[in-house]
Structure 1
């Protein structure tokens, strides 16, 4: 089991030294454990060069199974520890940078104060994550649909995206009454990828059963929603912003919601965890904390 744990740490970190540090081992011990594991299996698990350390085909398949084994062992240990004691252990949470700033970091801070025996690690990643392969307990994500069948999800907030602009911009350009009229406005473009340099996009509007797709254009193209949020506040034009990010500015009059009968995009905020995993007490408590915070926060409970 020690060799398996070391192998998993090496693949996860990509370095023997980093894996050894995470396990509190000398570098030589980590290397020797993996070497002995390969020898006992009769299979090379890692490709080693001066610049690259990565699993072989057999190593990648073995890694996936080892992660599941270690997860089940940890869950068994956690279940026993939780009997008659206060919850303890490490909780690893994945989320996006936006949700991390808007919701998860604050929940984690309060959670640590209430449960001093639990360590919380929040990892912000703006990409699709594999909870099992990356050793994560739970994810708080924005998703337009249900995850795959290996996951269980719970909706925290019925997320929406709203069109908005500053009163100063609208005083000059006027407010659109129909989605099609946005084609004549300066719209702030959210880039879809690192190499997407276009200054046009398609926004899909929904109202009851009606759907309209509008081609919009603008001179300002940005790669993150936080930059888009800052730009619209600076009066750069019309932007499509998650409702929980702009609701407070709209309430205070710093922004105006345009086309209020229309929603640009529906993306629920969800808590996701593996369907085959027994939820430890610390995971259940954290899920409850996220749900309660979102329910009491008007930015999430009113959308």
Structure 2
């Protein structure tokens, strides 16, 4: 597992989970589900710092690595820039846990923080910022390369999203 955008053919990858449509003729993409994103901070951080009123008011941002950051700014935030990162991490689970521990504000996929928000441990902030939900896709190098084993794995995984 990696967050890096690998070359499926060159890196000999059977299947990848990727957000957004790439439109490459060498790939086959199977749409799974839209991925909603939201800004969150730990309850203790909110108690100590208050609720930011805008992106510009966020002084302690936990930033994703540059490739995901650019994707989020372009496809999720519609061209708006994320705040400067006080911390940068290349793993969304780590970013979620840093926000949970009071290290700052994070932009997270809703599925990673839903239960923590329900429990009150994470707080949703900036709900008025328009956020687009890119589609999560199963991506294959090409139709010819899909083995029965990979097809079965893809079918089982896709069933989890229906």
- Bin of the TM-score, shorter chain as denominator length: 0.7 to 0.9
Alignment match, 2:155: 288
SS in 2 for 1:228: helix
1:268-283 correspondence runs (5 A): 268-277=135-144, 279-283=146-150
- How much does 1:126 deviate? 2.9
Cα gap change, 1:129/1:191 in structure 2, threshold over 3 Å: closer, same or farther?
closer
TM-score, with length taken from structure 2: 0.76
- Count of aligned positions: 157
Tell me how large the CA RMSD over aligned residues is. 3.1
Q: Give the counterpart of 2:28 among 133, 140, 152.
A: 152
1:188 matches 2:62: yes
| 2: CA distance, partners of 1:168 / 1:128 | 34
Q: Contact 1:163–1:264 (CA<8 Å) still a contact in 2?
A: no
Task: Report the structure, 1 or 2, having the larger helix content.
Answer: 1
| 1: CA distance, partners of 2:10 / 2:83 | 39
Alignment match, 1:221: 87
SS in 2 for 1:156: strand
1:43-192 correspondence runs (5 A): 124-141=1-18, 143-177=19-53, 181-185=54-58, 186-192=60-66
- How much does 1:148 deviate? 0.8
- Unmatched tracts of structure 2, length 5 or more: none
- How much does 1:215 deviate? 5.3
| 1: CA distance, partners of 2:74 / 2:143 | 37
Q: Contact 1:161–1:266 (CA<8 Å) still a contact in 2?
A: yes
- Unmatched tracts of structure 1, length 5 or more: 1-123, 194-200, 296-303
1:14-53 correspondence runs (5 A): none
| 1: CA distance, partners of 2:104 / 2:158 | 34
Structure with the greater alpha carbon radius of gyration = 1
